[in-house]
Amino acid sequence: MLKRSTPYFQVPELLEHYWTPLFDQWNECILMVDQSLSIYKSNQCWQRFMESEIEGSVNHFDRNLTTYLYPEDVFQLKQLLLKGKPIERYRIRLMNPQHQLFWFELSATNLPIETSSQYWCLQCSDQTQNIQQQYLQAAQQRSLTDLLYRLPIMLYRSRNDRDWTMEYVSRGCESITGYPTKALLNTPLYGQMIHPDDAEQVWAQVQSAIQNKNMFFLNYRIIQADQEIAQVQEIGQGVYSDSDMVLGIEGVIFPSVINPLVIVHQNN
């Protein structure tokens, strides 16, 4: 069982009025500090965070928050506290006694004690798992974006009209069509690029697949920006509302014959 450490600093008597034993039941760390971030009061959650240093040690853990704050965050937090205004959901980094890094969201309330020093009640909520997940998702998204940029394929979402008006196209569109992304978005350009002899067949096959809620597989010609004719393949499907209304089409367009050596060369 954890033992509450005797603070190095004498707790001002008035500070006790703002403390409640209920803080020990919270899952957030509660600290009462002054403007130098000296810790006067802390709850059990904070002491569990410090547990690795308390156990097996005859010394009390450091009673100044700056010891555990990530160095870059110390100055910024002190500057915010000096303004004397409440702080909501400010992100800080803390290192435990084993130097493991944790992310917290901090809220701070100024305690109206008439002394020469300012005192604050800090509420710190551990967000480490959430932040790590966000970083992982961001890294995965960057990897996916980089991959889509390098590969000669065009992901798209379009309206179900004869112009195939594009609402989204990936950056690979330029290697397929010769046109940049901006030229294709919200314009009839892609529909105009489909070879006139293939346009009706493309329309009919897509509409048949949409009616039957199937994927479609197309092989047709487009006229690229340099007026060269290119053979492409397309795989896609309809996007539907809960009431089965067709909201659009999503899919991928790529050259009919993709040489793996070309992909390797482009990736390098």
CA angle in degrees (0–180, nearest 5) for 251-254-260: 130
> Rounded distance, CA 191 to CA 162, Å?
6
pTM of the model: 0.50
151-255 is classed CATH 3.30.450.20: yes
The end-to-end CA distance of the chain, in Å, is 58
CATH number of the structural domain 11-53+61-133 = 3.30.450.20
Report pLDDT digits (tens) over 34-54: 988 999 989 999 988 887 544
What are 166's strand-pairing partners? Answer: 158, 185
Report pLDDT digits (tens) over 2-33: 444 434 445 567 788 889 999 999 999 999 99
Report pLDDT digits (tens) over 240-263: 988 888 999 999 999 987 544 444
DSSP string, 175-241: HHHS--HHHHBTSSHHHHHB-HHHHHHHHHHHHHHHHTT--EEEEEEEE-TTS-EEEEEEEEEEEE-
pLDDT at 5: 43
**Domain map (residue ranges) of the chain:** 11-53+61-133, 151-255
Closest CA to 256 of 227, 219, 226, 225: 219
Instruction: Flag whether pLDDT at 58 surpasses 70.
Output: no
Q: Which of 38-42, 57-61, 207-211 has the lowest mean pLDDT?
A: 57-61
pLDDT at 260: 42
